[in-house]
Amino acid sequence: MANSVKIFDTTLRDGTQGEGVSLSVEDKLKIAQKLDALGVHYIEGGWPGSNGKDIEFFHRVKELKLAHAKVTAFGSTRRKDTKAEDDPNLNKILESGVKVATIFGKSWDFHVHKAIQTTLEENLAMIYDSVRFLKNSGLEVIYDAEHFFDGYKNNPDYALQTIRQAEAAGADWIVLCDTNGGSLPGEIGDIVAEVVREVSRPIGIHAHNDCELGVANSLAAVAAGARQVQGTINGYGERCGNANLCSVIPNLQLKMGFSCIADEQLAALTPVARYVSEIANMHMPVGQPFVGNAAFAHKGGIHVSAILRHPKTYEHIAPELVGNKQRVLVSELAGQSNLIVKAEELKLDFDKNNPKVKSVIERVKELEHQGYQFEGADASLELLLREALEGLEEVFTLESFKIIVEKSAGRAVVTEAIVKVKVHGETMFTAAEGNGPVNALDVALRKALMPYYPDIQQVHLTDYKVRVFDEKDTTAAKVRVLIETADLETSWNTVGVSENIIEASWNALADSIRYALIGRTRVEHKEQQPERLGLVNH
Q: Which of positions 461-500 make contact with a copy of itself (CB under 8 A)? A: 461-476, 479, 484, 498-500
Task: Compare residues 69 and 449 and give the one whose CB is closer to a copy of itself.
Answer: 449
Residue 118 contacts residue 80 (beta carbons within 8 Å) = yes
Residue 151 contacts a copy of itself per CB under 8 A: no
* Minimum CB–partner distance for residue 465 and a copy of itself (Å): 7
Residues 251 to 270: which contact a copy of itself by CB under 8 A? Answer: 251, 255-256
Residue 402 contacts a copy of itself per CB under 8 A: yes
- H or E element at residue 165: helix 156-168
β-strand 70-76 against 42-46: which pairing, if any? parallel
Stretch that binds a copy of itself, among 33-41, 66-74, 306-314, 338-346 (CB under 8 A): 306-314
| Selected binder of a copy of itself within 110, 118, 190, 348 (CB under 8 A) | 110
| Selected binder of a copy of itself within 29, 501, 513, 516 (CB under 8 A) | 501
Task: Compare residues 137 and 439 and give the one whose CB is closer to a copy of itself.
Answer: 439
Dihedral of the alpha carbons of 517, 523, 527, 529, in degrees to the nearest 10: -50
Residues 404 to 423: which contact a copy of itself by CB under 8 A? Answer: 404-409, 413, 415
- Does the CA dihedral 385-386-389-394 come out positive or negative? negative
Distance CA(29)–CA(194), nearest Å, equals 39
Residue 186 contacts a copy of itself per CB under 8 A: yes
Task: Compare residues 21 and 139 and give the one whose CB is closer to a copy of itself.
Answer: 21
Residues 323 to 352: which contact a copy of itself by CB under 8 A? Answer: 329, 331-333
Residues 197 to 216: which contact a copy of itself by CB under 8 A? Answer: 209-213, 215-216
* Minimum CB–partner distance for residue 54 and a copy of itself (Å): 10
Distance CA(237)–CA(527), nearest Å, equals 58
How many Cβ atoms from other residues are within 10 Å of residue 85's Cβ? 13
Task: Compare residues 457 and 462 and give the one whose CB is closer to a copy of itself.
Answer: 462
* Minimum CB–partner distance for residue 459 and a copy of itself (Å): 12
**How many chain residues touch a copy of itself (CB under 8 A)?**
126
Burial string for 140-153 (b: 16+ CB within 10 Å, else e) reads: bbbbbbbbbbbbbe
SS3 assignment, position 430: strand
Task: Compare residues 20 and 391 and give the one whose CB is closer to a copy of itself.
Answer: 20
- In DSSP notation, 237-299 reads -STT-B-BHHHHHHIIIIIS--B-S-HHHHTTHHHHHHHHHHHTT-PPPTT-TTTSTTTTEE-
* Minimum CB–partner distance for residue 498 and a copy of itself (Å): 7
* Minimum CB–partner distance for residue 527 and a copy of itself (Å): 27
Residue 102 contacts a copy of itself per CB under 8 A: no
Stretch that binds a copy of itself, among 66-74, 132-140, 159-167, 230-238 (CB under 8 A): 230-238
How many Cβ atoms from other residues are within 10 Å of residue 62's Cβ? 12
Residue 62 contacts a copy of itself per CB under 8 A: no
How many Cβ atoms from other residues are within 10 Å of residue 273's Cβ? 27
Residue 107 contacts a copy of itself per CB under 8 A: no
Distance CA(119)–CA(443), nearest Å, equals 67
- Residue of 481, 486, 488, 489 whose CA lies nearest to 515: 486
Task: Compare residues 114 and 538 and give the one whose CB is closer to a copy of itself.
Answer: 114
Distance CA(267)–CA(225), nearest Å, equals 26
Task: Compare residues 398 and 535 and give the one whose CB is closer to a copy of itself.
Answer: 398
- H or E element at residue 361: helix 355-370
User: What is the length of the chain?
Assistant: 538
Residue 313 contacts a copy of itself per CB under 8 A: yes
Residue 442 contacts a copy of itself per CB under 8 A: yes
Cα first-last separation, the chain: 61
Task: Compare residues 62 and 239 and give the one whose CB is closer to a copy of itself.
Answer: 239
Which residues on neighbouring strands pair with residue 421, listed in sequence order? 398, 428
Residue 154 contacts a copy of itself per CB under 8 A: no
Residue 123 contacts a copy of itself per CB under 8 A: no
Residue 502 contacts a copy of itself per CB under 8 A: yes
Residue 81 contacts a copy of itself per CB under 8 A: no
* Minimum CB–partner distance for residue 83 and a copy of itself (Å): 21
- In DSSP notation, 127-154 reads HHHHHHHHHHTT-EEEEEEETHHHHHHH
Residue 17 contacts a copy of itself per CB under 8 A: yes
Q: Residue 134, CB half-sphere, CA atoms under 13 Å: how many?
A: 40
Residue 394 contacts a copy of itself per CB under 8 A: no
Residues 234 to 253: which contact a copy of itself by CB under 8 A? Answer: 235, 237-241, 244, 247, 250-251
Task: Compare residues 262 and 404 and give the one whose CB is closer to a copy of itself.
Answer: 404
